Amino acid sequence: MGMDRRQEISQFLRTRRAKVSPEQAGFSRVGNRRVSGLRREEVAVIAGVSVEYYRRIERGAIAGVSADVLGAIAEALQLDEAEAAHLFNLARAARGARKASPRDTVQRVRPGIQRILEAFVGSPASVHNERTDLLATNRLGRAFYSELLAGDIARGNNARFVFLDPRSRDFYSDWGTSADQLIAIMRGHLGRNPGDRGLSNLIGELSAQSREFSTRWASYNVESHRTGRKHVNHPTVGALELDYETIELSSDPGLTLLTYFAEPGSPSAERLALLASWAATSDQDAVERTARSAVDEDR
């Protein structure tokens, strides 16, 4: 196992250990402590393993660790569902039990999925892959993501938009939270698919070009955001407060359908309806311009 994989395991466990206070684990805080969270010895006691065994695990020697011990460590570190799953994914990759193959360079959205997107009338709907590429949208989705889709910086990729395009700080009103969530999701994806060269290359690109990304990536946080609320400042209609839901497409591994909804009767609902009207008008204007160009060519 390469040193980068060992480092990933080591840093993940270290950062999780630092987040648990002695009081949270049932220990009394006695004397001066050199660590902010639990000591390795305390984790070992809670997990029911020897101190030396846990030290080896935290140094990245996780390949031969049983599921029971991993579960005990997850409980000792008070990992949530996403973090525990990430720990098991790291162990699985270390054992070589699942040789992850790189995702296809080009991922296409099936016509049936596109029809589903178009059925979300009045709600921005889109399909993303694990690299945060925006692969498909409905009409309102194209209008909603107009900033992300415009220009040469993001190139249709949400992570590039957030960390490399200054406009993202205006678009995402809660930019810091959105940035942290995006990184936590990407780390989870990398744990499940360590052989995804496209995702690894994207992480390397962002690490080289964005100090904000590098700093946040070093937190080793892992989260799954299947539902929640997003605050957006859209350049066309202004402030939007939207709830979102994500659906993993089981027939298309690695692809996720994302939809946004506004509270009925709210100012955000009115602004979203205005954006839908603007999108329809823009599409009609584009059709008419294409038709006029075709007529001019025939003359």
Q: Block means of pLDDT (10 residues each) for the chain, length 299 residues?
A: 76 95 84 81 96 96 94 97 95 72 64 95 95 96 94 93 96 96 94 90 96 96 90 96 95 94 96 94 49 42
Give me the pLDDT at residue 104, please: 47
Residue 144 CB coordination number (10 Å): 28
CA–CA–CA angle 137, 138, 141 (5° rounding): 70
- Measured on CA atoms in the order 271, 276, 277, 278, is the torsion positive or negative? positive
Q: Which phi-psi region, left, alpha or beta, contains residue 13 (left: φ > 0; alpha: ψ -120 to 50)?
A: alpha
Phi, psi (rounded to 5 degrees) for 112: -65, -40
Q: What is the pLDDT of residue 224?
A: 82
Q: Which of 11, 21, 77, 78 is nearest to 44 (CA)?
A: 77
What are the phi and psi torsion angles at 74 (to 5°)? Answer: -60, -40
Task: Tell me the C-alpha distance between 247 and 127, whole Å.
Answer: 9
Query: Taking the model in full, what pTM does it have?
Result: 0.84
Structural domains present in the chain: 3-95 (1.10.260.40), 111-288 (3.30.450.180)
Instruction: Report the pLDDT value the prediction gives residue 292, as an integer from 0 to 100.
Output: 37
Strand order in the sheet with 238-248: 134-137, 125-128, 256-261, 238-248, 227-234
The token pair at 187 is: 């780390």
The distance between the two most distant Cα atoms of the chain, rounded to a whole number of Å, is 90
pLDDT value at position 102? 47
Q: Could you give the dihedral angle defined by the CA atoms of residues 108, 262, 234 and 287, in that order, rounded to the nearest 10 degrees?
A: 50
